[in-house]
Chains A and B, each alone.
Chain A
Amino acid sequence: MKKQGEQKDRTWILAAPGVGYLTVLYALPLGLLLLASFRLPEAFSISAYIDFFGDPFNWYIIWNTLRSALLTTAFCLLIGYPAAFALAWSKGWLQSLFLISLILPLSVGIVVKAFAWTIVLRSDGVLNQALMALGLTSEPVRLIFTETGLIFGAVNVFVPFMIMPVYSVIRLLDPRLAEAARTLGAGPLYVFWKIILPLTVPGIIAGIAFVFSLALAMYVIPTLLVGERFMTLSQQIARSYLYLRNETLGSTVAVVLLVFSLIVIVASQWLAGKVRANT
């Protein structure tokens, strides 16, 4: 029974345009595409998956995809976590400078970036010249068209997606908590491990989820920096549709990739919920 004077909840109206747009232009076509992996509409069959997982080459592709995404995420965390503190704790023009240098590169297309990296990474590139000048290596290290080069580029593109969520959590961090810990006899390292790190975990989880799911699905960066010699799931999808004209294979790989992404998102939501329940 409806209580008198109770307002009907109409919040959903606010979401309607977004949901409508995504349903018509994204979810429906994607659904149809993915159904193709089950050989519908003619018949239902999971033979495409049996074929896919029965081929060792596909396992190699999955491993490539996961490993490069993991490495990219790890380096983004390593670089992005301290950078987020620098961004949050700097003041005035320095903070503006940090913010600009974080956001401006996002507006430069990946293609432009990729050609900039080749200047840095090629055998007579900036990086190799520096390494040789420092005496760290006697001859050029092969960087371009390798996984190292790929990680180098991917970290460059995705690191803002690590910095931003961590930064927003740090900004909400009450500076008095660290002060309170100091006056209670905790040295700087103890304060970091017991107070700052645990309280920034939600930002770390969000950053990892962002970067990992973006890195799982990246296509342009590996295509431009490594090419065919380093296959990932995204490249395999493109190859299936564009070159092999094998729609079933393409949608099968797409489903596999989608499942990985879903696992990442669900796991991070679950973790974030667990962390939140404890605070």
Chain B
Amino acid sequence: MVPAFDDPHYLVAASVSKSFQGTRVLENLDLEIGKGEFVSLLGPSGCGKTTLLRMIAGLLAVDGGSITLGGKVISGLPPHRRNVGVVFQNYALFPHLTVRENIAFGLKARGVSTSEAKANVDRFLELIKLPDIAERFPSALSGGQQQRVAVARALAPRPDILLLDEPFSALDRKLRETMQIELKSLLRDLGITSVFVTHDQEEALVMSDRIAVMNAGVIEQFGAPQDIYQFPGSRFVLDFIGSSSQLAGTVLAETGGELTISVGGSEVRAAGRFVRGAPVTVALRPEDMSIHLPGSAPEGHNTVPVVLRDRIYVGARTQAHFTGSQGESLAIDLSPDHAGRLDQGATYAAAWSPEKTLIFPGNGQ
């Protein structure tokens, strides 16, 4: 197994730009991916993530900037001279070729001898655990099987990088989760560098070494899944990854990176640097808050008064929805023994520790 991050500049996109009919889709975008790394491009549709992937593959030309792979500038090369592997959203398996012929296609196109190609195809059929379907046509395969064949076809010619364009979107939820884990371990074992395009934040969190969150043609944040989730760098990242409750506040005082913020009459402490009087948004993850009877919250925690609106049972946990003093909506995860004992319409104290407080400039007022 190749140790990850051997070469931290394996794939480099340098100030890459792209326009379609006068509309800027990518704006001087920079991205560096290490060898063996699995990186997700995550964002809403139209954010430019697929455009970037297609430019790495050579299926779209860059308007400005350059793309380098393993020290070689590839942005001027046609796709068949780049040695990339692509797994397409609908898999794009060749319908007139058998599974074996599909997987062998890249090897044959590169002039690999028939016997060598056969050995390679057999190896990949084993890797994707489908040795028995080699002679079938794609139309006779299930969605999960098609996806595995598409992965094997892309990997068989030993590409320098694997590009995946929403490869799970056509699978149902249960199968998707299995395939995610399976694919991740396969790619880790092969040590291949991968770029994965998705709009599904859960998928990105599960699969990635690092996530590039994209919005309107720029990368908003690039980091490990835990960092992106725990320390979202912008309001956009906060809204896009996971759920959060947001409270409008005003900075009362700042001393040495310690903030005191007024949130609807309550005083809240957090870390950060803002000038006095600055409008801010206090954001909280559902699992970071707890519910207490008024006046009985843990010492040192921030608290705000909230009224219980309704409860939603989600299986492993129960999520309760509260209304804050300024009419904000707060979603808080409840422990199972708590869930049944709360009264609708009653007032409670929502509490959280100061270091779990996320602060963003502006409060929308």
Contacts and interface: CB of A to CB of B under 8 A. Distances in A.
Interface of A: 174, 176-177, 179-187, 190, 194-195, 198-199, 278-279
Contacts of B85: 183-184
B59 interface: yes
B106 A185 contact: yes
Contacts of A278: 96, 137
A179 B50 CA distance: 14
Given A176-B88, A182-B59, A185-B109, A198 B79 contact: no
Contacts of A181: 94, 105, 109
A209 B110 CA distance: 37
Given A194-B105, A279-B96, A179 B79 contact: yes
Interface in B56-82: 57-59, 78-80, 82
A180 B109 contact: no
Nearest to A275: B96
B92 interface: yes
Contacts, number: 72
Interface residues of B, number: 27
Given A185-B80, A186-B109, A278-B96, A180 B88 contact: yes
B105 A183 contact: no
Interface of B: 57-59, 78-80, 82-86, 88, 90, 92, 94-96, 105-106, 109-110, 137, 139, 153-154, 157, 163
Contacts of A199: 95-96
Contacts of A185: 80, 83, 106, 109-110, 157
B218 to A, nearest CB: 26
The A contact surface, by secondary structure, is: helix
Contacts of B139: 279
B92 A279 contact: no
B90 A183 contact: no
A174 B90 contact: yes
Contacts of B57: 179, 183
A238 B58 CA distance: 61
B20 to A, nearest CB: 14
28 contacts: A174-B90, A177-B94, A179-B57, A179-B59, A179-B79, A179-B88, A179-B92, A180-B86, A180-B88, A180-B153, A182-B58, A182-B79, A183-B57, A183-B58, A183-B59, A183-B82, A184-B80, A184-B85, A184-B106, A184-B109, A185-B83, A185-B106, A186-B80, A186-B109, A190-B109, A194-B105, A198-B96, A278-B96
Contacts of B137: 278-279
Contact of A183 (B84, B94, B95, B110): B84
Given A176-B88, A176-B92, 10 more contacts: A183-B58, A184-B80, A184-B85, A185-B83, A187-B80, A187-B109, A198-B96, A199-B95, A199-B96, A279-B137
A182 B57 CA distance: 9
B77 to A, nearest CB: 11
B92 A182 contact: no
A177 B97 CA distance: 12
Contacts of A186: 80, 105-106, 109
A177 B88 CA distance: 9
A201 B255 CA distance: 76
A52 B92 CA distance: 55
Contacts of B79: 179, 182-183
A181 B90 CA distance: 14
A198 B98 CA distance: 14
B154 to A, nearest CB: 8
Q: A-B pairs with the 10 shortest C-beta distances?
A: A184-B106, A176-B92, A186-B109, A180-B92, A182-B79, A185-B109, A183-B86, A185-B110, A279-B95, A183-B79
Contacts of A194: 105, 109
A35 B167 CA distance: 63
Nearest to A177: B92
Nearest to B89: A176
Contacts of A180: 86, 88, 92, 94, 153
A191 to B, nearest CB: 8
